[in-house]
Amino acid sequence: MEKMHFTRMDQGTDEDFQILKQVHEHTLKELPDRLFGLLSDLGKDTAYNITRRDHCLQSATRALRDGKDEEYVVVALLHDACETLGPFNHGEVIAAILRPFISRDNYWMLAQHGLFQTYFYAAHLGLDPNARDKFRSDPAYEQTIEFCAKYDEVSFDPAYKNEPLSTFEPMVRRVLSKDWTPPGARRRGTRRLGLGLSLGGGQGDHRRQRAICDLDGGRRPLLHEEDQSPMATGG
């Protein structure tokens, strides 16, 4: 790949930023394999009845066999992929990574599933198993309860026949297929930003609902807006 030549970004040329765009497009293309690598790392477990990698496969397999749509199955597959990176908030970590590719409710479910899972074990640690109740008003509350009950908390069963990762790989690549655009850039028709980047239409799914999610216990109002920008919605 060619090199960029600036020492300060404000002195970069159109050609430099075409290269920058290529770098990010390459990173985007590699994202599925990086996530598979995180899943693979979870295969080193010895303390669980099955590894967390197999737990993820089992969650996705159950969702697939229940007829859930492809995006949901991918979310199920990756829901614990960042457990090693976020000991306190692994759901938020993977939710943030997948946010540009998935719906608002799947994003929220991913971010909150760790807390919702405590319903099944918090009492054993002297904690409140009903901490999830503070999110009752969220549109994804019931969906998240269902995910934890049907696909997450039951998926530690060594006798259950999982699909292999190869079943899910093409699904992940399809869900994560998206054109790269700079963070936060706004779409205003078709125009050039002076970066040599054309930002006009035709990318991603513009219809997805954007939400500014309340992730801290319902203290702030939950805001939603329909945003037609592929930048802001993340498609």
The answer to whether 80 and 52 are in contact (CB under 8 A) is: yes
Residue 60 to residues 50, 129, 143, 149: CA-CA distances in angstroms? 15, 25, 15, 13
Alpha carbons 132 and 20: distance in angstroms, whole number: 42
Q: Is the dihedral of CA 128, 131, 132, 133 positive or negative?
A: positive
Q: Near Fe ion by CB under 5 A, which window of 61-69, 76-84, 97-105, 163-171?
A: 76-84
Q: Is 183 exposed, middle or buried (0-12, 13-18, 19+ CB in 10 A)?
A: exposed
Smallest distance from Fe ion to CB 96, Å: 14
16 binds Fe ion (CB under 5 A): no
Between 16 and 80, CB nearer to Fe ion = 80
- Residues from 204 through 223 that contact Fe ion (CB under 5 A): none
How many residues interact with Fe ion (rule CB under 5 A)? 3
Site string for Fe ion, 86-115 (x = CB under 5 A): ----------------------------x-
SS3 198: strand
User: Shortest approach of Fe ion to residue 43 CB, angstroms?
Assistant: 14
Among 42, 58, 68, 80, binds Fe ion (CB under 5 A): 80
Find the binding residues for Fe ion in span 148-167 (CB under 5 A): 152
- Provide the binding-site residues for Fe ion, judged by CB under 5 A: 80, 114, 152
